[in-house]
């Protein structure tokens, strides 16, 4: 059974800092892994998807890496802005055909102006 | 392209009543998923449709929950009779068949059972 842990649970940093959010998962037999952000009272917004054959994926100031064998993924946010404040969730999926996402508790990020 | 939509955004019902949640996936997305988050817990998978067929319903908590996807378009999730522990936020997501199966989520329905 896949279990996902995200560390830290909460993070507060001043604007402009670069930061790293960590995600670990117990079953390395994944098909892909998605990173999402969730704003209070809203749905989940997909940020990045990394396929199991990839090592990293970039979108703007975001860079996600994946080390499938060790069960880890990181989300790097460069030059953080107050608008980046949200809860960040990582979710791996199982092998193709078993596409359910498995979520951890997420990291609640606050960027202080 | 319109995103995933869910209706209602919020529902308050009494224990024992019935509630039906609706999800409209992104047009052309054959895969439709239901998830829920109960208070203080992580988001958990409920079930997965491929078109009108249930591919995986391993996350459905009990037989008070019934999901349908007639015609392979929108889906409904009915809770009957509702219990207090059913309170939470119910999310729907959809993805294309094939490729990377990137899932796009709707805004969720907040269900409160009193």
> What is the average pLDDT across B28-37?
95
pLDDT at site A97: 59
pLDDT at site B101: 84
B59 in contact with A at a CB cutoff of 8 Å? yes
Are A86 and A109 spatial neighbours (Cβ–Cβ below 8 Å)?
yes
Give B105's contacts in chain A (Cβ within 8 Å): 36, 43-46
Give A43's contacts in chain B (Cβ within 8 Å): 4, 91, 105-108
Strand order in the sheet with A4-7: A4-7, A19-25, A72-77, A62-67, A56-59
Are A91 and A24 spatial neighbours (Cβ–Cβ below 8 Å)?
no
What confidence tens digit (pLDDT) does each residue in B57-107 have?
999 999 999 999 988 899 999 999 999 999 999 999 999 987 778 999 999
pLDDT at site A96: 62
* pLDDT for residue B43 is more than 80: yes
* pLDDT for residue B33 is more than 70: yes
Q: Which ranges of chain A have pLDDT less than 50? A: none
CB contact under 8 A, A99 and B43: no
The nearest alpha carbon in chain B to A40 belongs to B107
Mean pLDDT rounded to a whole number for chain A: 94
Helix, strand, coil percent values for chain B (each to nearest 5)? 5, 50, 45
d(CA B79, CA B9): 16
* pLDDT for residue B24 is more than 70: yes
pLDDT at site A94: 81
Mean pLDDT rounded to a whole number for chain B: 94
Q: Which two tokens stand for residue B93?
A: 């997501």
A102 in contact with B at a CB cutoff of 8 Å? yes
pLDDT at site A1: 86
d(CA B103, CA B29): 10
Contacts A–B by Cβ distance under 8 A: 60
Q: Which two tokens stand for residue A89?
A: 């969730």
């Amino acid at each position: 059974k896949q279990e996902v842990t995200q560390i830290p649970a909460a993070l507060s940093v001043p604007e402009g800092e670069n930061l790293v959010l960590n995600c670990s998962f117990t079953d390395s037999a994944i098909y892909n892994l998605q990173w999402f952000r969730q704003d209070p009272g809203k749905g989940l917004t997909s940020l990045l998807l990394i396929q199991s054959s990839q090592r990293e994926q970039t979108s703007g100031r975001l860079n996600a890496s994946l080390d499938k064998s060790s069960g880890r993924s990181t989300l790097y946010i460069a030059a953080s802005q107050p608008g980046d404040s949200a809860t960040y969730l990582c979710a791996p999926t199982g092998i193709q055909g078993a596409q359910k996402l498995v979520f951890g508790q997420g990291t609640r990020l606050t960027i202080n102006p | 392209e319109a995103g995933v939509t869910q209706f209602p955004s919020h529902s308050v019902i009494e224990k024992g009543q019935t509630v039906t949640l609706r999800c409209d996936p992104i047009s052309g997305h054959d895969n439709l998923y239901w998830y829920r988050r109960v208070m203080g817990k992580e988001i958990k998978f409920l079930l997965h449709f491929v078109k009108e067929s249930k591919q995986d319903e391993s996350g459905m908590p009990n037989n008070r929950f019934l999901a349908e996807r007639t015609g392979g378009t929108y889906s409904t999730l009915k809770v009957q009779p509702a219990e207090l522990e059913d309170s939470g936020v119910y999310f729907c997501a959809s993805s294309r068949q094939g490729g990377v199966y990137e899932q796009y989520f709707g805004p969720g329905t907040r269900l409160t059972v009193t």
